[in-house]
Amino acid sequence: MPPAPEATDGPRPGDQLWYAAYGSNMHLDRLTYYLVGGRPPGGLRSHPGCRDPRPPAHSAPVLLPGRMYFATESPVWTGGRAFYDPDYAPDRRDAAELPGRAYLLTSSQFSDIAAQEMAREPGAELDLTHVLTHGRARIGPGRYETLVCAGMLDGLPVLTFTAPWSSDDLSVNLNPPSAAYLEHIAAGIIDSHEWSPLRAAEYLASCPGASGRWKAADIAALLTTPGTP
């Protein structure tokens, strides 16, 4: 996936794009609550849903340049939230990559999902011109108010959102994720990318926030414990 977006005049509300999920929304059943509304199992609040509640037209596994890290405190999962650092580049030839799942949505659906991630009412169109032209757009100071265009897929932009800081920022409050959150994300990676449980566990154990606090074997055990969904 090429990292540089193409210049554009900006999408119309019905235009299609790819929303790249890398956290709990890697599961279509959980994303569906953002689309149609309602409270997901174990959730603390109900989502109002999108103006257009239709399911994604398609989904595809993607590898985003950069890495995942865990920081702040999730009131839903407890422990750290997943964030995307698109600027991380290790000192080696093989660039870091973050496994995600891209959903083919309309720009209106993407706007409404982004609003709900910040606990706001959906209904306003995001101006995506800047992010599609420059690859990055900060629409607010909040934890998921920085838009990123990670490249193109089948001629359409791949967009996601994250926090404005980087994973190397010393002011960032790295925080280990909960077992339930790790299990959920690992299962999403396995389902979309067909990785083995150990490979997914090793990846997550290497992410800042989880690194040094979670061992790959312990994460893998979450996925193989009898009775685990």
Q: Beta strands 16-21 and 97-106: pairing type?
A: antiparallel
Is residue 227 scored above 70 in pLDDT?
no
Check: CB of residue 19 under 8 Å from CB of residue 103: yes
Residue with the two structure tokens 């800047």: 130
Check: CB of residue 72 under 8 Å from CB of residue 80: yes
Task: Give per-residue pLDDT as tens, 165-200.
Answer: 988 887 788 999 999 999 999 999 999 999 999 999
pLDDT grade for 119, boundaries at 50, 70 and 90? confident
Query: Which pTM value belongs to this model?
Result: 0.89
Check: CB of residue 64 under 8 Å from CB of residue 86: yes
Across 87-95, average pLDDT: 63
Looking at residue 6, its pLDDT comes to: 41
Is residue 56 scored above 60 in pLDDT?
yes
Give the residue with greater pLDDT, 5 vs 21: 21
Task: Give per-residue pLDDT as tens, 14-24.
Answer: 599 999 999 99
**Token representation of residue 48:** 């109002």
Across 197-207, average pLDDT: 96
pLDDT grade for 8, boundaries at 50, 70 and 90? very low
Supply the angle between the helices 28-36 and 107-117 in degrees, to the nearest 10: 100
Across 144-150, average pLDDT: 95
